[in-house]
Structure 1
Amino acid sequence: MAEQGKSMSQDARWIGVRMGLIGAVTASVIVAVIAPRFAGHAAALSFHPHAPDLDKIAQASLVIRIHLFSALTALMIGAVLMMRVKGTAAHKLLGWTWVLAMGATAVSSLFIRAVNPGHFSFIHLLSGWVIVGLPGAVYAIKRGKVAAHRRAMTGMFVGGLLLAGLFTFIPGRLMWAVFFG
């Protein structure tokens, strides 16, 4: 049984590494495609790292603050869930909390349309994926399909949080201004 738990843990790590590499390559390609769009906006591309300007977050709209709070909540809980033993009562409680935070993050993102003013953008595809994937992952674990549950949840953590989080640091977006603008 210990051998099985060890190999499952190693499998989860390799899944995370593969998803991270796929995410990094995807992010690089997307940034390469998006960067020329900002070529005429030298001010938006200026890079001046500094202490976070939290006043910019305080001045943001309510939906953006809700989105940021729920995303950071999901990120922290997700990191804890990835490192801890699976299947325990604590895992289930944190898991349901993570599902609620991820759901709030995905739904609130539908009301944020700064990348493509007034319209959805390619980033919203990740939101749709999470909105559809969360119930599917919960259904999988309720049916005892642990591997499917693990793949779905790891994918949403890496793609729906980490990859989507990288997009918030595109020049001209709020997180870019908070840390680099």
Structure 2
Amino acid sequence: MFRHARFARFAPSIAALVLLGVPIVAYLAADGGRIALLGFSLRAPDFGLLAAAPTAIQIHVAAALTALAIGIVLLAGIKGTRLHRALGWIWVLAMGTTAVSSFFIHTINPDGPAGLSFIHLISGWTVVSLPMAVHAARRHKVQAHRRAMTGMFVGGLIVAGALTFLPGRLMWAIFFS
């Protein structure tokens, strides 16, 4: 079933998420989309808000979700294979698109210098780090490549992605308000 032992250890977690997620989604749909849990009113996501968002935000979200999905596969999979290299190039394109598209989003600090905010520092770091990490891989500097790519995944996708779920931001509105 699994070609590598790393995938096998994730199978129970994935199965548990699916087995727990399907009934929760079904319950949300059956209850008019709302339940109260730990003080939050959960409901089915309102993806109409994303559809109504500016094109730059839509491109940013699509690229970030692509990079997140491929990044998980790359981190969990076998390194150095043709698949790893091919997915790696797609990941680099998705991360680059995510970083560059963020410079066209000015919702956090619209009155600041050029509409940029502290989150744009992560985007700048990503734009500089991506070519350096690719260069490290091409020169077979595995440790430098691994550190740079893992840092971009954690900082650029996980940390910055978590910040999009703060109250008042679009992802908060889509999932919680």
Q: What is the DSSP-based 3-state SS (H/G/I as helix, E as strand, rest coil) of the residue aligned with 1:117?
A: coil
Partner of residue 88, structure 1: 81
1:51 to 44, 47, 72: 44
Partner of residue 173, structure 1: 169
Partner of residue 75, structure 1: 68
Partner of residue 160, structure 1: 156
- What is the letter of the counterpart of residue 167 of structure 1? L
**CA deviation string 1:79-136 (max 9, x = no partner):** 0000000000000000000000000000000110111114210000000010000000
Which has the larger helix fraction?
A: 1
The structural deviation recorded for 1:48 is 2.8
Distance 1:109 1:49 in 2: 28
Larger radius of gyration: 2
Tell me, which stretches of 5 or more residues in structure 2 are unaligned? 1-5, 7-38
Q: How many residues align?
A: 138
Q: What is the DSSP-based 3-state SS (H/G/I as helix, E as strand, rest coil) of the residue aligned with 2:41?
A: coil
Matched, 1:138 2:134: yes
The structural deviation recorded for 1:47 is 4.6
Which has the larger strand fraction?
A: 2
Percentage of identical aligned residues: 61
Matched, 1:117 2:110: yes
| Larger relative contact order (Cα-Cα within 8 Å, sequence gap ≥ 6) | 1
Partner of residue 96, structure 2: 103
Tell me, which stretches of 5 or more residues in structure 1 are unaligned? 1-8, 10-45
Distance 1:149 1:159 in 2: 15
What's the TM-score, normalizing by structure 2? 0.75
Question: Structure 1 runs of 4+ off > 6 angstroms?
Answer: none
What's the TM-score, normalizing by structure 1? 0.74
